[in-house]
Amino acid sequence: MSAGWEQIPQETARRVLQAAAVEAHGKPGAYVSGERVMGRANMVDLEGFRAIAEYLDAKGWINEADADYSIFVVTQAGLDEAMK
């Protein structure tokens, strides 16, 4: 499952995580919309977004995602990472 993660653009992954944190209003456990996160992060590549979301999920920064990451939760660890 981690195959190819070295190809995840770290700057884009950080931007997505920060956008998710904003959408969660800084509250861990808040559900966010993948579509709104993509818009806030200025992403148009759905497959790229899903790859990044999978990476963030594996890191423990998001969880409780549905199969296509159209909705998920930002964890406390994710909020902490987004604020670095």
Which tens digit of pLDDT belongs to each residue from 30-80? 999 999 999 999 999 999 999 999 999 999 999 999 999 999 999 999 999
DSSP string, 42-81: T---HHHHHHHHHHHHHHTSEES--TTSSEEEE-HHHHHH
Which are the contacts of 80, defined by CB distance < 8 A and separation ≥ 6? none
pTM, to two decimals: 0.90
Q: Domain segments of the chain: what residues?
A: 8-29+40-82
- CATH 3.30.60 holds for 8-29+40-82: no
